[in-house]
Copies of this chain bind each other. A is one copy, B any other.
C-alpha cells in the first residue's frame, strides 16, 4: 500500500508471501511460526507508526472521537492481555492491574474504564512505560503460542486473530487521530516528510449490475467480523456504478456551484451539522494565498485535482450526489461490484460512503461474552463505508468488510463514488 511504502519503500521486495493475514484458524496442522510471524508483523507496524511521534505527540487527545497514540499502543496490548493471556496462559502475571481500568475501551462486560473523553488526561504510564508493557505482553503471547497444546490453540487462535485485526484497526486510527491533532497546531507539524497520497487509477466509465438475487456477506475460512454474517440473499436492482472515485476537481465544481450554501441539496441534519461546524470545504482544507491546501501526514499540501476527495462526511457525500443528480451505491451493490473485480480503487485510497444505514444482517448474532460488544451495539445512526483507505494496514481489507461511522464524522480518510439506478 502506498502509504506504507512512503515510510518503507524497499523492505517489501520479493516477499513471497506476506506474514499477514495468518492462515485460517481452522487450518491443520497448526503453523505456530506463521502465527508468531503474523503477530510480530502487526505489533511492529504499530510501533513503526508511533515511531515518528514525540512523547508529547503521543499524549494528546485532540477531540472526543480521537485517542492518544499512547493509548492506542496500550489498549491493543491490553486486549491481548485481557482476552488471551489472562484466560489462556496459566500463571500469567498481569503486568500492572491498574492498567486494566485505563486501557479498556468500551467493553462494558470487561469492567469499568477510563471515560473515553478523558484519555488525554493520563500522563502516566509514559510512552516508555507503555513500551515496557508491550514487550511484557509480546513475550507472553509468543510463549503462549510456542507452548500451548494443539487443543488449547483451537481456542486461542480465534482470539489471537481478532486481536490482530483489532490492532490493525487502531493502526488506522493512530494515523487519522494524529493527523487531526497536528491539524490543530498552527505550526503545522509534519509526521512524515515523504508521505504522499497514492495516485488514483485513471479509469473511467461504469460497471452495471443486473437485477437479481445474490448472496451477501462473508463465507469461507478466512477471518471476518461478526457483522459480515450471516451470509444471506439480497435483491440487487439494476444499477450503474462509477469506476472512478469522486475527485477533488469534481468537488471544487460542487463548491464553486455553491454546494455548501444550498440547503435544498442537504439532509436536514446535515445542513445543521455543516452550519454548526462552518463547513465550506472537505476536512482539513484551508485557503492560503488563493490556493487550497489540505493537511496531510506530510503537512499541508496543495489540493491535487486528480486525487480522490477525502475527509468528507456522509452528509457532504450525500449532498454532492444530489447535486450531481446521482446517488451513492448501497453497500450490497458495492460488494457485488467489488467481488466481481470491476471496481478500481476499491481499496487503499479512501473508504467509500454507501447509502446503507449500518444495521444487522438478517439472523445476525453477536459473539458471546465481552467481544459481543465489538460491532453489534453500534447498529444505529451510522452509515456503512466499504473498501479501505490509504491508512488501512495491509491484509486488513476484503469485499465483505463493513466499516461504519456517524454521518457527521470526517476525520477518517473518507470519500465516495457515485451510482445511478437503472430501473
Contact = CB atoms under 8 A, between A and B. Distances in A.
B267 A423 contact: no
A423 B362 contact: yes
Contacts of A355: 359-360
Nearest to A315: B380
A125 B270 contact: no
Contacts of A378: 267-269
A268 B106 contact: yes
Contacts of A57: 123-124
Nearest to A265: B377
Interface in A322-337: 327
Secondary structure at the A interface, as helix, strand, loop or mixed, is mixed
Given A184-B118, A213-B235, A357-B359, A381 B269 contact: yes
Contacts of A186: 98, 101-102, 114
A235 B237 contact: no
Interface residues of A, number: 69
A152 interface: no
Nearest to A108: B263
Nearest to A63: B121
Contacts of A380: 267, 269-270, 314-315, 318, 383, 407
Contact of A59 (B60, B182, B383, B421): B60
Contact of A185 (B109, B123, B127, B266): B123
A208 interface: no
Interface string A102-113: 100010110000
Given A186-B114, A233-B237, A124 B56 contact: yes
A91 interface: no
A268 B56 contact: no
A48 interface: no
Copy number in this complex? 4
A55 interface: yes
A395 interface: no
Given A54-B55, A263-B108, A314-B380, A187 B268 contact: no
Given A121-B181, A232-B237, A381-B381, A264 B60 contact: no
A363 to B, nearest CB: 5
Contacts of A318: 380
B269 A123 contact: no
A189 interface: yes
Contact of A268 (B264, B267, B377): B377
A234 B233 contact: no
Interface string A354-393: 0111011011000000001100011111010000000000
Q: Which of A184, A234, A357, A407 has the most CB of B within 10 A?
A: A357
A310 interface: no
B185 A124 contact: yes
A143 interface: no
Given A108-B264, A186-B102, A380-B314, A363 B423 contact: yes
Which of A102, A264, A266 has the most chain B CB within a 10 Å cutoff? A264
Interface in A302-343: 314-315, 318, 327
A176 interface: no
A235 to B, nearest CB: 4
20 contacts: A54-B123, A55-B59, A56-B58, A56-B123, A56-B124, A56-B126, A98-B186, A108-B264, A118-B184, A122-B184, A123-B182, A213-B213, A232-B237, A234-B235, A266-B377, A267-B380, A268-B378, A271-B377, A363-B423, A380-B407
Closest 7 CB pairs between A and B? A357-B357, A235-B235, A55-B55, A56-B123, A268-B377, A59-B59, A121-B184
Given A60-B121, A121-B185, A380-B407, 7 more contacts: A56-B70, A59-B59, A101-B186, A122-B184, A123-B181, A267-B377, A315-B380
